[in-house]
Amino acid sequence: MNMNATILGQAIAFVIFVWFCMKYVWPPLMAAIEKRQKEISDGLASAERAKKDLDLAQANATDQLKKAKAEAQVNH
């Protein structure tokens, strides 16, 4: 077989393969990646909110404990 025909055939097959991937493989792959990025981002934001809520709850619990101790000292 002629070497030029082989190279031309491989080039055509490669172009068809790239076109197929760009048309049918790339869009669903990018959609899945973007969906996963959004899920991770939402999860990180939720974790940050939960940490702030926990810090606030701990601060409130500490304040209530201090008030209870002060009240116990006054009533004792």
Over residues 8-57, the pLDDT tens digits come to 999 999 999 999 999 999 999 999 999 999 999 999 999 999 999 999 99
Residue 5 domain-assigned (yes or no): no
Residue 1 domain-assigned (yes or no): no
Residue 60 domain-assigned (yes or no): yes
Domain hosting residue 41, numbered range: 24-76
Residue 58 domain-assigned (yes or no): yes
Residue 32 domain-assigned (yes or no): yes
Cα distances (Å, whole numbers) of residue 4 to 11, 12, 17, 68 = 10, 12, 20, 91
Is residue 1 predicted with pLDDT exceeding 70? no
Q: What is the Cα–Cα distance from 14 to 67, expressed in whole angstroms?
A: 76
Q: Say whether pTM exceeds 0.85.
A: no
Residue 17 domain-assigned (yes or no): no
Residue 35 domain-assigned (yes or no): yes
Tally the domains of the chain: 1
